[in-house]
Structure 1
Amino acid sequence: MKKLWWAIGGVVAVLVLAVLVGPWAYGRFIAEDDAPAASVSTEGAQAASGSVDGQWTVVPGKAPNQTAAGYTVHEILNGASVTVVGSTGEVAGSATVEGEKLTAGEVSVQVAAITTDQSRRDAQFRGNVMDTDTHPTATFTVDEPVDLSGLPEDGSVGTVTAQGTLTLKGQSRPVTVDIEVLRSGDDLIASGSIPVTWTDFGVQPPSLGFVTVDGRGTVDFLISLARS
């Protein structure tokens, strides 16, 4: 009988230890931050050719400047503090540049295609969080002209500030974003991160016991454009 009680006690001790130590061990040895969202790279960049004026269309691009968009958010998962980055290459859009000013521009993202390294997280994101069946796309549109005349033409990166409208889950809000822009050969490449408070867009950050998501994050984009 004593051996039986010792055995039962050992099992209970192991279970208690797993409950108490499991989240700590996950955070210490397993959980890792995701790689940061993609941004403009000057690897292989060339001097700009021709004028920046014209009609531009979002294209897939080439590594390391492949078109992608998504989000960055901080969460507590199983007791571990991690930064999560979700992204997709299913991005469309266009831009108009006249007199070295960006006079019109729109980027559209297929929200259901955004993925991370966790399928369960992605399922929650598509369903309860973003309701992608009802709101399949997120968009950013430029509302005011953006001066591009100061952009470098030597294959280095310049920065401009854009005023626009971000639409998530059917809710539109004015936003300001600093955009890194690279003119390389006959290509135009741009990236930026838009700070957002999720509830401003009707998005409720999950809090499910095993995971809690911050109320703020960023909407990220890297877009390659070619002349239409």
Structure 2
Amino acid sequence: MRGRTKVMIGAGAALVLLGGAAVIVGPGLYADWANDAAAQAPALEASAAPLGDTAALDGEWAVAPGSVAGYRVHEVLRGEEVTVTGRTEDVTGGVTVEGGRITAAEVTVDVESIATDEPPRDAYFRGNVMEVGTYPTATFAVTEPVPLTEGATDVDLPGELTVHGVTHDVVVPARVAADGDGVQVVGSVPVTFADYDVSAPSLGFVRVDEEGAVEFSLLLERAP
């Protein structure tokens, strides 16, 4: 069994890699700056509407440009609460709808392209934490048919989530809505780092929670 990777994302990695910059400017100022930089949780666009006739959705759909995925973690830096988010638009995949049900779906995220507002943190995340040279992608694949309901947006997606080379069964609470000729799917799934062979650090000056979240906002268009 390979040794556990030490997760030093967030302020922990920033402190190590930036020579204690957060300590120099003060943890309170750093926390304010980091929290302001954190991305909002994925949400349906204002233009999105509840699904209409779900049978009309039958066919093949592809993940379109403008889709994003990433992570959200919480940490405590010298008593200050800090939220860190990483995002990438390098997301690919497809969805099959038959009889108003999602019968197949797979989404792949290029982990190496996930970025925050701090390049040194990202370099540590990619190399030391996620080992992207060995595990370059994360994937989610639906494992059971999922009925779509006219007029509804909330849906649970049972599937397999693979992160850092480890796969677990999960149920992803998501929201699905029509947006013009396309479909938007947003959601967040909690993850426990240890379940994916990753350990959250507690370094004295910073403590990263043992759980975080994988977040996504997918735009789907009819496949050619």
CA distance in 1, matches of 2:51, 2:160: 32
Which residue of structure 2 aligns with residue 68 of structure 1? 68
CA distance in 2, matches of 1:31, 1:167: 28
- The one of 57, 67, 74 equivalent to 1:52 is 57
CA distance change for structure 1 residues 99 and 117 in 2, over 3 Å: closer, same or farther? same
For residues 181-196 of structure 1, what are the structure 2 equivalents within 5 Å? 181-196=176-191
Secondary structure of the corresponding residue to residue 128 of structure 1: helix
Secondary structure of the corresponding residue to residue 37 of structure 1: coil
Deviation at 1:128, TM superposition (A): 1.2
Give the paired residue count: 200
CA distance change for structure 1 residues 87 and 145 in 2, over 3 Å: closer, same or farther? same
Which one-letter code corresponds to 1:84 in the other structure?
V
For residues 2-151 of structure 1, what are the structure 2 equivalents within 5 Å? 22-27=26-31, 30-33=33-36, 34-43=38-47, 51-60=56-65, 66-77=66-77, 79-148=79-148, 150-151=149-150
Secondary structure of the corresponding residue to residue 127 of structure 1: helix
Which residue of structure 1 aligns with residue 209 of structure 2? 214
> What TM-score, normalized by structure 2, do the two folds share?
0.80
Which one-letter code corresponds to 1:151 in the other structure?
E
Unpaired segments ≥5 residues, structure 2? 1-22
Unpaired segments ≥5 residues, structure 1? 1-18, 61-65
Deviation at 1:185, TM superposition (A): 3.0
CA distance change for structure 1 residues 58 and 198 in 2, over 3 Å: closer, same or farther? same
Which range moves more in the overlay, 90-99 or 113-122?
Answer: 113-122
CA distance in 2, matches of 1:142, 1:21: 45
- Identify which of structures 1 and 2 has the higher relative contact order when contacts are C-alpha pairs closer than 8 Å and 6+ apart: 2
Percent identical residues: 47
Secondary structure of the corresponding residue to residue 216 of structure 2: strand
Deviation at 1:71, TM superposition (A): 0.5
For residues 150-161 of structure 1, what are the structure 2 equivalents within 5 Å? 150-152=149-151, 158-161=153-156
**Residue-by-residue CA offset, 1:18-55 (whole Å, 9 max, x unaligned):** x799334544x544251323322133769858811100
Contact 1:37-1:85 at 8 Å conserved across structures: no
CA distance in 2, matches of 1:163, 1:78: 38
**Residue-by-residue CA offset, 1:187-220 (whole Å, 9 max, x unaligned):** 1110110111011011222444554321101101
CA distance in 2, matches of 1:94, 1:113: 20
Contact 1:129-1:204 at 8 Å conserved across structures: no
TM-align CA RMSD: 2.6
CA distance change for structure 1 residues 201 and 32 in 2, over 3 Å: closer, same or farther? same
